[in-house]
């Protein structure tokens, strides 16, 4: 966390980028969804969704509160 804050303040770049972090998160997301649904899933990586489990959408899509929009 300190490394990220230093980079935000103009310090050296962090070891990894947000792009790398997003890709890593996408690798783990299908497994986490399968655990939450307690069954195997079919992951659509192109559309970032589980076609046969619409109930999984609540964990995939962000619902930002208006107060925090940038």
Distance of alpha carbon 48 from alpha carbon 67, whole angstroms: 26
Domain count across the chain? 1
Mean pLDDT of the chain: 85
Residue 59 inside a domain? The answer is no
Distance of alpha carbon 3 from alpha carbon 14, whole angstroms: 6
Contact 40, 57 (CB under 8 A): no
Residue 68 inside a domain? The answer is no
- Reported as a pLDDT band with limits 50, 70 and 90, residue 15 is confident
- For residue 69, is pLDDT > 70? no
Parent domain of 9: 2-54
Query: Under 8 Å CB-to-CB from 14, ≥6 apart: which residues?
Result: 3, 4, 6, 7
Residue 60 inside a domain? The answer is no
| pTM of this prediction exceeds 0.85 | no
């Amino acid at each position: 966390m300190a490394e990220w804050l230093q980079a935000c303040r103009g310090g050296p770049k962090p070891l990894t980028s947000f792009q790398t972090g997003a890709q890593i998160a996408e690798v783990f997301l299908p497994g986490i969804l399968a655990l939450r649904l307690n069954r195997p899933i079919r992951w659509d990586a192109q559309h970032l969704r589980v076609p046969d489990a619409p109930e999984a959408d609540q964990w995939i899509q962000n619902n930002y509160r208006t107060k925090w929009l940038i």
